Amino acid sequence: MKNKLFLTIILCTVVSAAQAQSFTVYEKEKSYGFNDEDVDSIVFSPDQAAAPSVEPRKIKARWCSLGTSISWLNENTASYPLTKGYQTRVMEKLAFSNFYNKAVNGGTLSSAISAVNLADYYTIEHGINDWGHSTPVGTIQDYINNTKNGTFAAIYRQLIDRIFQRNKKARVILCTPRKAYGYNGYLPDHWYDPLNGIYLQEYADIIRQIAAYESFPVADFFAECGGQRQLDNLSYDTALHPNDDGMQIMANVLIQAFEKILGE
What pLDDT score was predicted for residue 149?
98
Q: What is the mean pLDDT of residues 151-168?
A: 98
252 and 169 housed in the same domain: yes
24 and 97 housed in the same domain: no
The answer to whether residue 150 is domain-embedded is yes
- Taking only the tens place, the pLDDT of each residue in 185-196 is 999 999 999 999
Tell me if 147 sits within 8 A of 196, measured CB to CB. no
15 and 108 housed in the same domain: no
Given a cut of 50, whether residue 8 has pLDDT beyond it is no
172 and 107 housed in the same domain: yes
Given a cut of 90, whether residue 247 has pLDDT beyond it is yes
Q: How far apart are CA 112 and CA 84, in angstroms?
A: 22
Selection from 128, 252, 257, 254 nearest residue 195 by Cα? 128
Helices (H), 103-233: 128-132, 140-144, 152-166, 200-214, 221-224
Phi, psi of 54 (to 5 degrees): -95, 120
* Exposed/middle/buried for residue 244 (C-beta within 10 Å: 0-12, 13-18, 19+): middle
154 and 34 housed in the same domain: no
**Among 16-20, 89-93, 165-169, 248-252, whose mean pLDDT is lowest?**
16-20
The answer to whether residue 52 is domain-embedded is no
- Taking only the tens place, the pLDDT of each residue in 75-108 is 999 999 999 999 999 999 999 999 999 999 999 9
Determine the structural domain holding residue 104 and report its residue range: 57-259
Within the chain, strands assigned E span 3-8, 12-15, 22-27, 30-35, 39-45, 57-67, 94-101, 121-125, 171-175, 218-219
- Alpha-carbon 188 to chain mean position: 26
The answer to whether residue 264 is domain-embedded is no
What pLDDT score was predicted for residue 26?
53
Tell me if 174 sits within 8 A of 122, measured CB to CB. no
175 and 74 housed in the same domain: yes
The answer to whether residue 223 is domain-embedded is yes
What pLDDT score was predicted for residue 54?
80
The answer to whether residue 50 is domain-embedded is no
What pLDDT score was predicted for residue 9?
38
More reliable by pLDDT, 99 or 12: 99
CB atoms within 10 A of CB 216: 20
- Taking only the tens place, the pLDDT of each residue in 21-63 is 555 555 545 555 666 666 666 555 445 545 556 899 999 999 9
Q: How far apart are CA 198 and CA 212, in angstroms?
A: 22
What pLDDT score was predicted for residue 10?
38
130 and 176 housed in the same domain: yes
* 3-class secondary structure, 179: coil
* Helices and strands, number each (H, E), in the chain: 8, 10
Given a cut of 50, whether residue 17 has pLDDT beyond it is no
Within 207-260, strands assigned E span 218-219
Distances (CA, A) of 53 to 56, 65, 93: 9, 27, 12
Split into its structural domains, the chain has a count of 2
16 and 64 housed in the same domain: no
243 and 162 housed in the same domain: yes
- Taking only the tens place, the pLDDT of each residue in 195-232 is 999 999 999 999 999 999 999 999 999 999 999 999 99
150 and 182 housed in the same domain: yes
The answer to whether residue 35 is domain-embedded is yes
Tell me if 172 sits within 8 A of 122, measured CB to CB. yes
DSSP, res 83: S
